[in-house]
Amino acid sequence: MHLVPGLGAHRLEKLEPEHLERFYKKMQAAGSAAGTAHQAHRTIRVALGEALRRDHLTRNVATIAKAPKLEEEEVEPFEIEEVQALMDTARKRRNSARWIFALALGLRQGEVLGLQWKDVDFTRGVAWVKRGRLRPKYRHGCGDRCGRKPGFCPQKEPIRRETKDTKSRAGRRAVPLPEQLVVILRQHKEEQDREWALARDLWTDKGYVFTSETGEPLNPSTDYHHWKRLLREAGIRDGRLHDARHTASTVLLLLGVPERIVMAIMSWSSTSMAQRYQHVTEPMLNDVGRKIGEALWGDVGSGPEEPGEDAA
């Protein structure tokens, strides 16, 4: 008997689109975000699609059910001056280059934290994105006697691997390293080598570009809190870490980089993703206004001609 957890234990063959739609509404009524309910819909759709492929079902009702409506959140990318302030502040902290990858190149959090030195080609000036850092998950190593959550157990044992290889062709990609970033990365490698020498036997060499003081890959949760602290120290308005990705794509657009190149750098598989992430900024509008002025009136500084007597 095939039952669907969370959907009133409906048998798969008896599942209807309305069951799914009511399930999504219950999720949101219980406090789940629209995005969470939408993700549940996508997961169910894929699972039922696999059941259909294996002839366990005759139809995939998730393709009929209406997905939870997502309201597009208006994102205001950081201005160039704000990006510069963030990078200036980051220089005073460990792993400062980590934030350049986000703000200048638009790499996702997992992609930056999963980066290893073997992925960095200093000579060619590129870095290869091949894997993403996963959120660590632990179990008690003390037999659940410490009275803490598994992640805070003194003898905690990891039960999830550190990284996961990027599956999609768009996700596996090379990103350009500006010359300034190459210099910063070389300095970062030297600082990491000094930390390794100081830590000695406590250091765990796993080859990650950005690590803890003992060589372990950075925890995404800790990285997120560092981002929030960086915003406060730089005196910049609050924003999501993912907003840095929006900022990078906007800067690339502002520089006139062709869309197909931007799509490759950002690992977008469709132009609709490019439209979602790229934003029209005030400098772009000013540039358009200048071009319109030149086309209609020639030299912008001269302005339109005043009508003469003949024009009366």
Please report, for the chain, the start and end positions of each structural domain, with discontinuous segments joined by +: 3-63, 74-130+168-300, 132-165
pTM over 0.85: no
Residue 275 burial (10 A CB sphere; 0-12, 13-18, 19+) = exposed
Segment-wise mean pLDDT, segments of 10 residues, the chain, 312 residues: 53 83 86 80 87 88 84 69 89 90 88 94 91 89 87 87 79 84 93 94 94 93 94 91 80 70 74 59 57 61 49 41
pLDDT at 202: 93
Identify the CATH number of the domain defined by range 74-130+168-300.
Answer: 1.10.443.10
Could you give the CA distance from residue 294 to residue 303 in angstroms, rounded to a whole number?
9
pLDDT at 71: 63
pLDDT at 229: 94
pLDDT at 277: 56
CA angle 270, 274, 280 (to 5 degrees): 160
Q: At what angle do helices 220-234 and 80-90 cross, to 10 degrees?
A: 110
DSSP 125: T
CB 14 within 8 A of CB 61: no
pLDDT at 302: 47
CB under 8 Å to 179, separation ≥6 — which residues? Answer: 125
**What does the buried/exposed string (b/e) look like for 44-79 if buried means 16 or more CB atoms within 10 Å of the residue's CB?**
bbeebeeebeeeebeebbbeebebbeeeeeebebbe
